[in-house]
Amino acid sequence: MDTVLTNTSTLFFKINPSLKFILISSLFIVYLFVQNLNTMIWASLFFLILYYFVSGLSGKWSFWFVLITLIVSLFSASAMILFGKGSHIIYHQSLILITQESLARGVLLGLRTFTFSLIGMIFATTTLPVPFFYSLMQQLRVPVRYAYGCLAAFRMIPIMAEEFMHIRQAMRVRGMTRQKGVKAFCERMTRYTITMLAQSIRRAQRTAIAMEAKRFSMTEKRTYFYEIGWSRNDVYFVIILLLTVALGFVFSSYFPLTPYTNVLDQ
C-alpha cells in the first residue's frame, strides 16, 4: 500500500477512525432511501469532488479507479435497464425492453453503486489498519481479543504471500507447473488452498498461545501503546460530510436535471 498511497498527513488521515467508520457506514442508510434520480446525480457528483480532494490515492491510480468504477457501476445496472418493467417503451426487440422508467431506475442504481464505491474508497485509502483497530477498542469498546486478533491477522498477510511463493517454487522444481489439463489444474489448486489454509491455521494457533502466555486476555487496567483521541479535525470532517450530503439534496430540488423525482412511481 505504501507505494499507492500518496501522503498520509492530509486531513482525512487525522480523523478519529471510529467516527469516520460510523459516519461513512451510515451513509448507506441515507442513500438506500433516495429514490430521486436528481438527488443521486448531484450526490455522486459532489462525492466525486470530495473524493478528488481527500482520496489518499495518487493521481494516476485515482483516475483509473474512478473510470473503471463508473463503467462497472453502469454494468451492474444493465439488467434493470434492459429487462425492467415499465410502460413508456423506448426500444423493444424480443426479450429486450427498454422503458423510460427502467432506464431511470437503472441509472439511479448505477449511480448509487458508484457513490458507495467512492465513499468506500475514501474510507479505505485514508484509514490505516493499526489506528483503526486501536480506535475500535478505545472508542467503540470492541473487545480487545477481536481487535488485536484482526491486527495480528493483518500481520500474517506478508507471511502468506511468501508461503505462496514457496509452494509455487516447489511445484516448479517438481515439474507440476508444466502439466496440462483440468485434472492437473485442480490438483495444483487443491495443493495451494489446503497447504496454505492448514499452515495459516497452525500459525494462528501458535500466535494465540503466545499471546495468551503474555497475559493477553487480561481485561482490567489495560493500557494502549497508541492513544486515539479526538481533535478539531473531527469537527471539520463532520461539517465536510454533512455539507456534501446536504448540497446533493439542495441542488436536486433547485436544479433538477431530469423529471424523475421518484423512480418507483409507475
Partner 1 sequence: MSKGKNTNLRLNLSDILVTIVIALVFGLVFRLLGPVYDLVKPFGLHLDALLYGIWFIAAPFAALLIRKPGVAFLAETAAALAEMLFAGSGGVINLYYGLLQGAFSEAVFAAWRYKKFSLGIASLSAFAALIASIILDAGYAYLPLLAGWNLILYLVFRVIGSVLFSGLFPYALVKGLEKTGVTQSLRPVTKEDYNVLK
Kindly list the residues in this chain that would bind partner 1 in the complex (CB under 8 A). 24-25, 27-28, 32, 69, 72, 75-76, 78-85, 95, 97, 102, 105, 109, 112-113, 116-121, 123-125, 127, 129, 132, 145-146, 149-150, 152-154, 156-157, 160, 190, 193-194, 196-198, 200-205, 207-209, 211-212, 216-217, 264
- By beta-carbon proximity to partner 1, the closer residue of 100 and 200 is 200
Shortest distance in whole angstroms from residue 187 CB to partner 1 = 12
What is the phi/psi pair of residue 260, to 5°? -90, 90
CB of 60 to partner 1, least distance (A): 16
**What gap in Å lies between CA 173 and CA 148, rounded to an integer?**
38
Residue 264 Cβ, how far from partner 1 at the closest point, in Å? 8
d(CA 241, CA 24): 9
- What is the 8-class DSSP label of residue 55? -
Of 183 and 232, nearer to partner 1 (C-beta) is 183
> Which one, 159 or 232, has the nearer CB to partner 1?
159
Whether residue 128 contacts residue 8, with contact meaning beta carbons closer than 8 Å, is answered with: yes
Nearer to partner 1, 22 or 49 (CB): 22
Looking up cell 479526538 gives: 230
Nearest one of 93, 32, 44, 110 to 102, comparing CA atoms? 110
Q: Considering all CA atoms of the chain, what is the largest pairwise distance in Å, rounded to the nearest integer?
A: 70
Q: For partner 1, which is the closer residue by CB, 78 or 255?
A: 78
Residue 251 to residue 254: CA distance in whole angstroms: 5
Q: Which residues of 61-73 are buried (b: 16+ CB within 10 A; e: fewer)?
A: bbeebbeebbeeb
In angstroms, give the least distance from the CB of 45 to partner 1.
17
Cβ of residue 104: shortest distance to partner 1, in angstroms?
A: 11
Q: Taking the complex as a whole, how short is the minimal distance between the CB of residue 218 and partner 1, in angstroms?
A: 11
Residue 98, beta-bridge partner list: 91
Between 157 and 250, name the residue whose CB sits nearer to partner 1.
Answer: 157
Closest CA to 244 of 22, 48, 95: 48
Measured CA to CA, the distance from residue 161 to residue 56 in angstroms comes to: 25
| In the complex, minimum distance from the CB of residue 179 to partner 1, in angstroms, rounded to a whole number | 20
Which DSSP symbol is given to 177?
A: G
Q: Which is nearer to partner 1, 7 or 94 (CB)?
A: 94
